[in-house]
């Protein structure tokens, strides 16, 4: 069968013994047809960034909680895989455990390596600039935060990288009101060379960002954010919002200045938001694209062809998987993303920075396996099932 034209059917013999949340056992036979998108895809009607994870070198990391060592070959190979399916890569974001074990020096090395690889391939990449090199607990001024942003922006511009201006924990900690946010963002945007993507990460992803843009009320915060965009629209390519509320995203999308993109970061409702309505659509910058790349690539290609039914058919089964991976506490979604990369053979182990592989339960990962099978994103069900069996044996499932 032409793999680019459809799918390749695989049915496994034997059952997998899995574990439910109450500790009881159940059985599952992986039998979904794995999706097989064409490599070399280029999307025409939507801009789609996949926020990519990093692969730890589990053998060379001697201090996993404080001094991770990155497996550069495996990490860059995964980005090559995402580029081959048509995605841009959103680099050194929260999916890569930025600020959760991936510090600025390591993030900058990742950015340098990835931007070099993207140039060689002619691929799309944008890189996270933040303020995470500031020492926690120290008193900073608004000017200090602006200068910290600029330091990272300049480092990214030095390698000809495109900037995603990440939300700042330091700014959230010291800002007194909306004016402080307007001052910092106005200063930074005035000095960057090219338009940036702004980044609004809700507190469900990072509790330290509660009250961002100077308001605890999301609608009021949105007004403050829109005011900053309108005042600096020539330096804003778009904004990624991760609030897990499609109504709020649509409301903001309809208020953006002409030419400013909405990049959905809604890992619960991305299918309908990307499809859009009579008044517009969202582009995408999503961590879930790391996990569902085959389905998303085929779906976006179908949308390019005007085949909405096929788009919906492909993405619909991925939504329960995504909602499971991003279930509360949402910040632990990286565990599910990396586990799926392990099941799919992209890395030889299930180890993460700061031991984050332990952030989800055995039952949670069992359900992830079933939902990934139903969504068709297990690349080789035989390999995935064997890796799942090994994981379960180590977890005590006989």
Per residue in 215-248, pLDDT (tens digit) is: 999 999 999 999 999 999 999 999 999 999 999 9
Q: Which domains does the chain have, with CATH numbers?
A: 39-375 (3.20.20.70)
pTM of the full structure: 0.94
Residue 164: predicted pLDDT = 98
Q: What is the pLDDT of residues 46-103, one digit of tens each?
A: 999 999 999 999 999 999 888 999 999 999 999 999 999 999 999 999 999 999 999 9
H or E segment and range at residue 239: strand 236-242
Residue 9: predicted pLDDT = 35
Give yes or no for residue 27 having a pLDDT over 80: yes
Give yes or no for residue 10 having a pLDDT over 70: no
Residue 4: predicted pLDDT = 46
Average pLDDT over residues 9-36: 80
Average pLDDT over residues 326-346: 97
Residue 137: predicted pLDDT = 79
List the beta bridge partners of residue 35.
7
When pLDDT is cut at 50, 70 and 90, the band that residue 398 belongs to is confident
Nearest to 153, CA basis, from 164, 142, 143, 168: 164
Q: What is the pLDDT of residues 265-304, one digit of tens each?
A: 999 999 999 999 999 999 999 999 999 999 999 999 999 9
Nearest to 134, CA basis, from 170, 98, 164: 170
Give yes or no for residue 7 having a pLDDT over 90: no
Provide the 3-class DSSP secondary structure of residue 323: helix
Average pLDDT over residues 118-137: 95
Contact 114, 123 (CB under 8 A): no
Contact 335, 360 (CB under 8 A): yes
Contact 366, 18 (CB under 8 A): yes
For residue 355, the tally of other CB atoms under 10 A from its CB is 13
Q: What is the pLDDT of residues 368-379, one digit of tens each?
A: 999 999 999 999
Q: What is the pLDDT of residues 103-123, one digit of tens each?
A: 999 999 999 999 999 999 999
Provide the 3-class DSSP secondary structure of residue 309: helix
When pLDDT is cut at 50, 70 and 90, the band that residue 2 belongs to is very low
3-state helix, strand, coil in the chain (%, to 5): 45, 15, 40
* Rounded alpha-carbon distances, angstroms, from residue 202 to 208, 331, 335: 9, 10, 19
Nearest to 71, CA basis, from 79, 81, 59, 83: 59
Residue 41: predicted pLDDT = 84
Q: Name 121's Cβ contacts closer than 8 Å, sequence gap at least 6.
A: 80, 83
* Tokens describing residue 143: 């000017």
| Alpha carbon distance 252, 384 (integer Å) | 40
Q: What is the pLDDT of residues 134-189, one digit of tens each?
A: 998 789 999 999 999 999 999 999 999 999 999 999 999 999 999 999 999 999 99
Contact 325, 40 (CB under 8 A): no
* Tokens describing residue 245: 């509320």
Nearest to 265, CA basis, from 257, 255, 273: 273
Residue 312: predicted pLDDT = 98
Contact 341, 290 (CB under 8 A): yes
Residue 48: predicted pLDDT = 98
When pLDDT is cut at 50, 70 and 90, the band that residue 14 belongs to is low
List the beta bridge partners of residue 126.
90
């Amino acid at each position: 069968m032409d793999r680019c034209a459809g799918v390749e059917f695989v049915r496994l013999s034997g059952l997998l013994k899995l574990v439910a949340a109450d500790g009881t056992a159940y059985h599952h036979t992986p039998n979904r047809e794995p999706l097989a998108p064409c490599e070399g895809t280029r999307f025409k009607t939507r801009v789609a960034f996949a926020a990519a994870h990093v692969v730890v070198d589990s053998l060379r990391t001697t201090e996993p909680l404080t001094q991770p060592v990155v497996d550069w070959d495996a990490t860059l190979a995964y980005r090559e895989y995402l580029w081959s399916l048509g995605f841009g890569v959103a680099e050194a974001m929260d999916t890569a455990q930025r600020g959760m074990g991936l510090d600025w020096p390591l993030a900058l090395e990742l950015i340098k390596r990835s931007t070099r690889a993207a140039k060689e391939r002619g691929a799309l990449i944008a890189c996270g600039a933040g303020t995470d090199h500031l020492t926690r607990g120290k008193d900073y001024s608004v000017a200090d935060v602006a200068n910290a942003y600029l330091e990272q922006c300049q480092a990214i511009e030095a390698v000809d990288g495109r900037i995603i201006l990440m939300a700042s924990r330091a700014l959230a900690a010291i800002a007194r009101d909306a004016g402080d946010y307007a001052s910092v963002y106005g200063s930074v945007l005035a000095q960057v060379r090219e338009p940036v993507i702004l980044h609004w990460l809700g507190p469900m992803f990072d509790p330290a960002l509660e009250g961002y843009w100077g308001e605890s009320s999301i609608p009021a915060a949105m007004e403050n954010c829109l005011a900053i965009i309108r005042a600096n629209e020539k330096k804003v390519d778009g904004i990624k919002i991760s609030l897990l509320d499609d109504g709020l995203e649509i409301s903001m999308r309809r208020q953006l200045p002409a030419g400013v993109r909405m990049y959905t970061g809604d890992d619960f409702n991305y299918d309908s938001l990307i499809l859009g309505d009579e008044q517009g659509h969202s582009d995408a910058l999503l961590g879930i694209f790391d996990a569902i790349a085959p389905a998303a690539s085929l779906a976006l290609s179908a949308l390019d062809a005007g085949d909405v039914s096929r788009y919906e058919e492909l993405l619909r089964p991925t939504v329960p998987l995504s909602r499971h991976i991003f279930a509360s506490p949402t910040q632990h979604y990286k565990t599910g993303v990396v586990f799926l990369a392990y099941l799919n053979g992209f890395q030889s182990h299930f180890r993460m920075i700061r031991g984050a592989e332990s952030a989800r339960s055995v039952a949670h990962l069992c359900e992830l396996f079933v939902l990934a099978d139903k969504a068709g994103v297990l690349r080789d069900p035989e390999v995935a099932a064997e890796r799942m069996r090994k994981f379960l044996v180590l977890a005590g499932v006989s």
